Amino acid sequence: MSSRTKKYKQLNNKIPAIMFKLKEMMFGCLDVIIITGLIIAKNLHYGKQIAEYYNPYTLIIPIVCSILPLVGIFFLLKEEKRVRALFIFDLAVSLILFADTAYFRYFKDITSIGAVRNGALLGGVMSCLPSLIKFNDIAYFIDLIVLLPLIKMFAAYKKRKKYKLGGAVRVMLFLLVFGTGVMANGKCIYNFNIEQPLLLTTMSNKLFLTKVLGNFNYHTIDIYNYARNTIEASKPVSAETKQDIRTYLQGNQPSDSGSVLAGAGEGKNLIMIQVEALQQFAINKSVNGQEITPNLNRWINKSLYFDNYYYQVSAGNTSDAEFMSNNSLYPAASGSAYYRYSGNTLDSLPNKLRNEGYSTAAFHGYVESFWNRNIMYQTEGFDNFYGETSFNVDDTVGLGLSDKSFFEQSKVTIQGMEEPYFSFLVTLSSHYPFDGGAGYGDFNAGEYEGSLMGDYLKGIHYADQQLGLFLDELEEDGTLEDTIVVVYGDHSAIPKEYADQLYSFAGVENPTELDWQMLQEVPMFIHFPGNANSGVNHTYSGQMDLYPTLANIFNLECKYTFGKDILNSGSQKVIFRNGSFTDGNTFYMSGSNTYYDIATEQIVAETDQLKAAKEQAMNELNLSDNLLNHDLIGEGLEQTIPEE
Ligand code: GP9
Ligand code: MN
């Protein structure tokens, strides 16, 4: 027999053994393959349930990538344990997807740990659960019923045939599947983070995150953020820190004597309007012979106008502006306060007014869950939130419902509210990138036509027009006779990469970082019945100061505020989240650790006094963070604030 034939015969003899090994491996993995396939299918089914304006099949890659690392881990378990664990995993995924589906049908949002902790939200879903269940939800559970007997039969078959994955094979499969999954999923998340840099920590748009990364990744990120924030909050807060907070808050209480406009608004209605991307540089300016904001200019003239008012937002952007204006607490050091602190107890303006017998409502014509508003507005004390689904979206400009329709519809609701009321309106149409097109009307931005600045001017001109109509109507029908109106901008309009356009509009040559900072003002004005108290207040101030200022006007006691009453404190301090601050004379820019004299615009050396102010700014930010991270308002810190 030739050696060739010998080798061939030997190989031939090995074939049954190889075939057995292959079969053993295939049958050994079958439980994992089948249940993984079912879980992927269920996740896709869920994707279809929330599929508004997107194709759920784009989710296949992130779903597979996010599940693979866990599937890999299952290979480490021996046969029987693995099958049991897989079954439990399938059941858990099914329950989560089903709960998420019901929650979405009710809130148009994804469940989060914050939402689960907020019993009121779950109560809403539970109370009408039967109406939220649809027949096709059976897809989440049908396999589980069929699977049990099949698994048993299959296990008996494998035992009979002696198909079993050996230890070495299981470890190899674990390394392969787990490693591939971690790498592939990491790439999906990395790419997402490049495109939407802040979304993973701010969680501003949970729905979008789920639509791009899948349900599994969303929950993992939610759990990660929650755990990180909890760990931060669990670092014990010392008795000294608590005392420091108490001492600070007590020192920051307004003095009773000689208050300007104290109680001037007591018992009156309050309409507060936060205008998207409204900035000071557009006020009282014209282009091409046309005023950019003719209505705001007119209303400013008959109001108490603050022309040195800064936005102080951080990663939470619009929601930070809302948070500060209603709470006078600093935005979160990372992520968004509206996500991180939605489970806290807050001594917010709406809560305070509600305690005084006001009816309270928030209005915003966009997706309710955006910036976690549907949760945070309840925490802040709004009786009702009129979000996108409460409006008839009959006219759209830019991101969604037009300011025109928003104001028209909100007006009807506001006028049906029981008095006194607090209505908080957040506009939308003048949102970046200001591509409202024809919807914005025919404002001619002259030399700025075709640039981002030109588009902004069109957008803000449109917002001004709609706001003007709204205020004029409220004036004509007598609403303003017993209503105080507050209007302010939320944050920057022009991103830093387009700074040149802003400098050229503002006529700034050889810009410095101080010029940039000084251009970050937003207008704020308070209109009183009968145009009373009109005038211009030049105090350096910001969004942190609105609540204490209104608390004085409405005669409310607020004990947990870090801002100042602009009208009475005599202070010009404004602290920004990055540690920059001004005292009205000097501006400290934390990015370059530089002090500027505001009057001369020259750099000045650090003095002991400035150094102390810099440290105090950091200290105040820390105290506010501690108060929020440890939910000290909920703990009743004020009970222990010593009497003056
Ligand atoms: C949408 C709107 C936008 O609800 O408030 O938020 P922003 O992107 O400006 O932070
Ligand atoms: Mn905004």
Sequential DSSP letters for 75-121: TTS-HHHHHHHHHHHHHHHHHHHHHHHHHHHHHSS---HHHHH-HHH
Q: With contact defined as beta carbons under 8 Å apart, do 482 and 421 qualify?
A: no
Q: Give the model's pLDDT for residue 118.
A: 65
- Are residues 303 and 200 part of one domain? no
- Are residues 547 and 408 part of one domain? yes
Q: What does pLDDT average to over the chain? A: 91
Which residue puts its alpha carbon closest to atom 6 of ligand 1?
318
Please report whether residue 239 resides in a domain.
no
Cα of 319 vs centre of ligand 2, distance in Å, is 8
Report which ligand 1 atom has the smallest distance to the Cα of 367. 4
Which residue puts its alpha carbon closest to atom 7 of ligand 1?
318
Domain count, the chain: 2
**Three-state DSSP class for 339?**
helix
- Are residues 227 and 290 part of one domain? no
Report which ligand 1 atom has the smallest distance to the Cα of 428. 2
Whose structure tokens read 């602290």?
575
- Is ligand 1 within 6 A of the CB of residue 370? yes
Cα of 199 vs centre of ligand 1, distance in Å, is 12
Please report whether residue 640 resides in a domain.
no
Cα of 196 vs centre of ligand 2, distance in Å, is 16
Q: Give the model's pLDDT for residue 208.
A: 87
**Domain final position from 233, 256, 286:** 233
Distances 567 to 40, 175, 533, 548 between C-alpha atoms, Å:
60, 66, 12, 10
Report which ligand 1 atom has the smallest distance to the Cα of 491. 9
| pLDDT tens string 331-370 | 998 888 999 999 999 999 999 999 999 999 999 999 999 9
- Are residues 467 and 416 part of one domain? yes
- Is ligand 1 within 6 A of the CB of residue 373? no
Please name which ligand lies nearest the alpha carbon of 428.
1
Question: Is residue 500 over pLDDT 60?
Answer: yes
| pLDDT tens string 361-408 | 999 999 999 999 999 999 999 999 999 999 999 999 999 999 999 999
Q: State mean pLDDT over 440-458.
A: 95
Question: Is residue 468 over pLDDT 90?
Answer: yes
Q: For a substitution probing ligand 1, which of 279, 363, 402, 431 has the most ligand atoms within 8 Å of its CB?
A: 431
- Is ligand 1 within 6 A of the CB of residue 205? no
Question: Is residue 55 over pLDDT 70?
Answer: yes
Q: How far apart are CA 354 and CA 360, in angstroms?
A: 7
Q: What pLDDT band is residue 282 in, cutting at 50, 70 and 90?
A: very high
Report which ligand 1 atom has the smallest distance to the Cα of 364. 4
- Are residues 282 and 225 part of one domain? no
**Domain final position from 561, 582, 612:** 561
- Is ligand 1 within 6 A of the CB of residue 111? no
Please report whether residue 547 resides in a domain.
yes
Whose structure tokens read 């608004």?
265
Which of the residue ranges 159-163, 309-313, 483-487 would you say has the lowest mean pLDDT?
Answer: 159-163
Q: Which residue has the higher pLDDT, 94 or 124?
A: 94
Please report whether residue 595 resides in a domain.
no
Which residue spans within 161-210 are E strands per DSSP?
Answer: none
Cα of 100 vs centre of ligand 1, distance in Å, is 24
Q: State mean pLDDT over 76-90.
A: 87
Q: With contact defined as beta carbons under 8 Å apart, do 526 and 552 qualify?
A: no
Range picked from 58-67, 142-151, 478-487 for highest mean pLDDT: 478-487
Q: State mean pLDDT over 169-175.
A: 90
Q: State mean pLDDT over 243-272.
A: 90
Report which ligand 1 atom has the smallest distance to the Cα of 490. 9
Q: Give the model's pLDDT for residue 644.
A: 43
Please report whether residue 331 resides in a domain.
yes
- Is ligand 1 within 6 A of the CB of residue 293? no
- Is ligand 1 within 6 A of the CB of residue 36? no
Please report whether residue 57 resides in a domain.
yes
Question: Is residue 249 over pLDDT 90?
Answer: yes
Q: What pLDDT band is residue 15 in, cutting at 50, 70 and 90?
A: confident
> What residues contact 577, with CB distance under 8 A and at least 6 apart?
312, 313, 314, 330, 331, 333, 621
- Are residues 437 and 371 part of one domain? yes
Cα of 635 vs centre of ligand 2, distance in Å, is 32
Question: Is residue 640 over pLDDT 60?
Answer: no
| pLDDT tens string 17-39 | 777 777 767 777 888 888 999 99
Q: What pLDDT band is residue 154 in, cutting at 50, 70 and 90?
A: confident
- Are residues 425 and 297 part of one domain? yes
Q: How far is CA 260 from the centre of its chain?
A: 35
- Is ligand 1 within 6 A of the CB of residue 430? no
- Are residues 173 and 47 part of one domain? yes
Output the six-digit token pair for 81. 């344990």
Return the axis-axis angle of helices 142-161 and 79-107, rounded to nearest 10°: 170
- Is ligand 1 within 6 A of the CB of residue 573? no
Please report whether residue 98 resides in a domain.
yes
Q: State mean pLDDT over 529-556.
A: 97
Question: Is residue 464 over pLDDT 60?
Answer: yes
- Is ligand 1 within 6 A of the CB of residue 366? yes
Q: How far apart are CA 341 and CA 176, in angstroms?
A: 40
Which of the residue ranges 25-29, 288-292, 461-465 would you say has the lowest mean pLDDT?
Answer: 25-29
**Three-state DSSP class for 487?**
strand
| pLDDT tens string 593-624 | 899 999 999 999 999 999 999 999 999 999 99
Cα of 537 vs centre of ligand 1, distance in Å, is 28
- Are residues 22 and 81 part of one domain? yes
Q: State mean pLDDT over 468-491.
A: 98
What CATH number is associated with residue 299?
3.40.720.10
- Are residues 34 and 111 part of one domain? yes
Q: What pLDDT band is residue 643 in, cutting at 50, 70 and 90?
A: very low
| pLDDT tens string 553-593 | 999 999 999 999 999 999 999 999 989 999 999 999 988 88
Q: State mean pLDDT over 118-126.
A: 66
At 152, the amino acid letter reads: K
| pLDDT tens string 260-277 | 999 999 999 999 999 999
At 337, the amino acid letter reads: A
Q: State mean pLDDT over 478-504.
A: 95
Cα of 318 vs centre of ligand 1, distance in Å, is 5
Cβ atoms within 10 A of the Cβ of 16, count? 9
Q: In 519-607, where does DSSP find H-type helix?
A: 546-553
- Are residues 319 and 229 part of one domain? no
Which residue puts its alpha carbon closest to atom 10 of ligand 1?
318
**Domain final position from 209, 233, 257:** 233
Residue span of the structural domain in which 155 resides: 11-233
Identify the DSSP state of 280: G
Q: How far apart are CA 596 and CA 429, in angstroms?
A: 36
Please report whether residue 608 resides in a domain.
no
What are the counts of helices (DSSP H) followed by strands (DSSP E) for the chain? 22, 19
- Are residues 172 and 313 part of one domain? no
Helix, strand, coil fractions of the chain, as percent rounded to 5:
55, 10, 35
Q: What are phi and psi of 431, to 5 degrees?
A: -85, 140
Q: Give the model's pLDDT for residue 339.
A: 92
Report which ligand 1 atom has the smallest distance to the Cα of 370. 4
Percent of the chain exceeding pLDDT 70 equals 95
Report which ligand 1 atom has the smallest distance to the Cα of 373. 4
Which residue puts its alpha carbon closest to atom 9 of ligand 1?
318
